[in-house]
A and B are shown apart, each in its own frame.
Chain A
Amino acid sequence: DGGITQSPKYLFRKEGQNVTLSCEQNLNHDAMYWYRQDPGQGLRLIYYSQIVNDFQKGDIAEGYSVSREKKESFPLTVTSAQKNPTAFYLCASSISLRDNEQFFGPGTRLTVL
Chain B
Amino acid sequence: AQSVAQPEDQVNVAEGNPLTVKCTYSVSGNPYLFWYVQYPNRGLQFLLKYITGDNLVKGSYGFEAEFNKSQTSFHLKKPSALVSDSALYFCAVGYQKVTFGTGTKLQVIP
Q: Which residues of A contact B (CB under 8 A)?
A: 1-2, 4, 6, 35, 40-45, 48, 58, 90, 92, 97-98, 100-107, 109
B56 located at the interface, meaning its Cβ lies under 8 Å from any Cβ of chain A in the complex: no
B residues 45-104 near A (Cβ < 8 Å) are 45-46, 49, 90, 94-103
Binding site for A on B (CB under 8 A): 9, 32, 34, 36, 41-46, 49, 90, 94-103
A102 near B46: Cβ-Cβ < 8 Å: yes
In the complex, A25 Cα to B100 Cα: how many Å? 22
A106 touches B42 (CB 8 A): yes
Which residues of chain B have C-beta atoms less than 8 A from A97's C-beta?
Answer: 96-97
Query: Which residues from A are CB-within-8-Å of B49?
Result: 101
A90 with B101: in contact, given A43-B90, A97-B96, A100-B96 (CB under 8 Å)? no
The answer to whether B42 and A1 touch across the interface, beta carbons within 8 angstroms, is: yes
- For B46, the chain A residues whose CB sits under 8 A away are 101-103
Query: A2 → chain B, closest Cβ, in Å?
Result: 8
With contacts A42-B90, A42-B103 known, is A100 near B98, CB below 8 A? yes
Contact at B43–A105, with CB atoms within 8 Å? yes
Bound CA–CA A108/B75 (angstroms): 30
A-B contact list, 10 entries, CB within 8 Å: A6-B43, A40-B102, A42-B100, A42-B102, A45-B99, A92-B43, A97-B97, A98-B95, A100-B95, A101-B34
